[in-house]
Amino acid sequence: MQTKPFRIGTRGSPLALAQAAETRARLMAAHDLPEEMFEIVVLSTTGDRVTDRPLSEIGGKGLFTLELEEQLSSGELDFAVHSSKDMPTVLPNGLHISAYLPREDIRDALIGRTAPSLTALPDGATVGTASLRRQALVRRIRPDIQVTIFRGSVGTRLRKLDEGHVDATLLAFAGLKRLAREEVVTELLDPEHFPPAPAQGAICIESRIGDRRVDTLLEAVNHRPTYDAVSCERAFLMALDGSCRTPIAGYALCDGDHLRFSGLILTPDGQKEYSVEVDGTRTEAEALGRRAGETVRTAAGPGFFETWS
Ligand SMILES: NCc1[nH]cc(CCC(=O)O)c1CC(=O)O
């Protein structure tokens, strides 16, 4: 192996930095390499800079990835570490997701200030979130709840909650665990009733297609069950054309060679929905996700995706 350090690209949020550090630690352990062999390069992305509007409004794909991908393509970086959930379904030419680390918990967590659970929140309570999926899933269970746009890093959102801006907020349990903040959680939401976003809880590594040196390095940390589950979930998103304005949820679970996927699309008010379940072998993960996406898209019909945009 070469002696020049690998350049790892990441965003600068505390969660992104924790994920880059976890990636480096796993690579050091897998290859018995010293820390000096990995240089963590921090870049700011559009998604980091615009924090006062919902992401669905800023539009465009790759708000959290574009700047990193430019530097990957130009050879400035060797690979980039991302939250898979923030990855666009279609990547720039020449780049691919080459590895997934073992997935964290996939569930959403409620952090309640005035009550500990979604069902116990007071009548007309406010919940802070910028996610259309979380908004729709909250309204599906509690149509009386008002949703306030909440953006910024995990720490910023928890501070806004503390300051009393809202009664509760929702965050990925995975991110809270990675930041060692899981003690704030008052309720973990069951995926059967409150399904996570496709790819939630999984760290992925993006690199140049055909970079043998990087492929060899990353192979040792790639977790196949996560790779298959998230590939299935991303295929579901892609088949739905991943419009940022459609609340989409879904998760795949691997059990030995078997994979089961549950998907859901709903209107932002949570009052209308289409769900799908498929299962098969892990080797057909992508095909299963694609089929599930096509199934709900056909069931919903073209009108469904236009009713609110
Ligand atoms: N878009 C923000 C984002 N991207 C990934 C995570 C959490 C970690 C993960 O899902 O892997 C979060 C914050 C959140 O949803 O609470």
174 lines ligand 1 (CB under 6 A): yes
190 included as an active-site residue? no
User: Does 136 have pLDDT greater than 90?
Assistant: yes
Q: Which CATH architecture has domain 224-309?
A: 2-Layer Sandwich (3.30)
Query: What's the half-sphere exposure (Cβ side, CA atoms, 13 Å) at 55?
Result: 24
User: Is 1-101+202-222 in CATH node 3.40.190.10?
Assistant: yes
**Is the CB–ligand 1 distance for residue 252 below 6 Å?**
no
Pairwise CA distance, residues 20 & 17, whole Å? 5
pLDDT tens, position by position, 24-61: 999 999 999 999 999 999 998 887 777 666 666 666 66
Q: What is the pLDDT of residues 164-185, one digit of tens each?
A: 999 999 999 999 999 999 999 9
- Mean of pLDDT values over 11-19: 95
Q: What is the ipTM of this complex?
A: 0.97
Calculate the alpha carbon distances from 258 to 202, 255, 278 in Å. Answer: 19, 5, 11
| Model confidence band, residue 1 (pLDDT cutoffs 50, 70, 90) | low
What is the CATH superfamily name and number for domain 108-188? Periplasmic binding protein-like II (3.40.190.10)
pLDDT over 90 at 153, yes or no: no
Catalytic pick from 78, 86, 105, 228?
86
- Please give the model's pTM, rounded to 2 decimal places: 0.94
Q: Where in the chain is the domain with CATH 3.40.190.10?
A: 1-101+202-222, 108-188
pLDDT above 70 for 257: yes
pLDDT in tens, 204-253: 999 999 999 999 999 999 999 999 999 999 999 999 975 557 899 999 99
Q: Supply the residue whose CA is at minimum distance from atom 2 of ligand 1.
A: 86
pLDDT at position 242, please? 55
Burial of 248 (0-12, 13-18, 19+ CB in 10 A): buried
Quote the CA–CA distance of 107 and 192 in Å, as a whole number: 10
Query: CA-based diameter of the chain, in Å?
Result: 62
Residue 305 is predicted with a pLDDT of 77
Closest residue CA from atom 5 of ligand 1:
83
- Residues 65-92: what's their mean pLDDT? 95
Give the tokens for residue 92: 């720039």
Question: Which atom of ligand 1 lies closest to the CA of 157?
Answer: 16
- CATH 3.30.160.40 occupies which residues in the chain? 224-309
In sequence order, the β-bridge partners of residue 86 are none
Average pLDDT over residues 259-267: 97
Name the percent of the chain lying above pLDDT 90.
85
* Strand 203-208 versus strand 95-100 pairing type: antiparallel
Q: Ligand 1 test: best mutation among 85, 100, 104, 178, most atoms within 8 Å of CB?
A: 85
What's the average model confidence in pLDDT over 105-129?
A: 98
